[in-house]
Amino acid sequence: MRSGPRPGGRSLRVQEAVHAAVTALIDETGREGLTVPQVAARAGVTPSTIYRRWTDMATLMRDVAQRNLRVDCPLKPCGRLSVDLPAWAEMYQEEMDSTPGRAMMRDVLRGWDGTQKACSLFDAVRPTIVSICDAAGEPVTFDVEAVIDAVVAPVLTRILFTDGPLPATLARDAAVAFVARHASGG
């Protein structure tokens, strides 16, 4: 094969330099004024390189935000769903409703084109839910997607479409109710 992507070597170095530059500039001057030429200068790279690889600032910031999308390590499961799921829900809400959580969502949604998914947000969450369910001795009678709909979805939509901080126990309460529903033979 002659053609194809060329991920190693210089390309990689440039990508890392640019990502690092964005990250550094964000916590020096905030993400508001940030421009492509600024990032390029900081990364020691030509603006046109950035434009050609990422098209614009929104796309670049979305790319960086996705990188920082870490799988949140949950508190150690104790084995009881009615304890572990609400505990995780509370932590998840705090994480998403925090300043960095909201910033991440902002960056990711700026680059959304309206057709494909904005980012694989749920792929980071599903394994955690699964591992909590696995840790539960009780056999599980529901789908992971149902948990997402019941506890993750309200958190995300309220962040986007309501003002002020979320009710502190929103996700926790949702998780408690969800477990209760499915414990009594749903």
Partner DNA sequence: CTGCTAAAGCAAATAATTTGCTTTTAATGA
Partner DNA sequence: TCATTAAAAGCAAATTATTTGCTTTAGCAG
Query: Which residues lie near a copy of itself (CB under 8 A)?
Result: 102-103, 105-106, 109-110, 112-122, 148-150, 152-154, 156-158, 160-163, 174, 181
Closest approach, Cβ 122 to a copy of itself, in A, equals 6
Q: Which of 27, 28, 32, 52 binds DNA (CB under 7 A)?
A: 52
Long-range contacts of 151-155 (CB under 8 A, 24+ apart): 151/85, 151/89, 151/92, 151/175, 151/178, 152/92, 152/122, 152/125, 155/92, 155/93, 155/96, 155/97
Closest approach, Cβ 6 to a copy of itself, in A, equals 27
Closest approach, Cβ 66 to a copy of itself, in A, equals 12
**How far apart, in whole angstroms, are the C-alpha atoms of residue 89 and residue 171?**
5
Instruction: Dig out the tokens for 96 from the structure.
Output: 């998403």
Closest approach, Cβ 46 to DNA, in A, equals 4
3-state secondary structure of 130: helix
From DNA, a copy of itself, none, interface partner of 144 (C-beta below 5 to 8 A by class): none
Q: Are 185 and 84 in contact (CB under 8 A)?
A: no
Closest approach, Cβ 51 to DNA, in A, equals 4
**How far apart, in whole angstroms, are the C-alpha atoms of residue 30 and residue 93?**
24
- By beta-carbon proximity to a copy of itself, the closer residue of 45 and 105 is 105
Angle ∠(35,116,66) on CA atoms, nearest 5: 50
Stretch binding DNA (CB under 7 A), from 51-59, 81-89, 95-103, 153-161: 51-59
- By beta-carbon proximity to DNA, the closer residue of 1 and 73 is 1
- By beta-carbon proximity to a copy of itself, the closer residue of 14 and 170 is 170
Q: What do you get for the CA distance between the two ends of the chain, in Å?
A: 55
- What's the chain's length in residues? 186
Size of the site for DNA (CB under 7 A): 29
Contact footprint for DNA (CB under 7 A): 1-11, 14-15, 35-38, 44-49, 51-53, 55-57
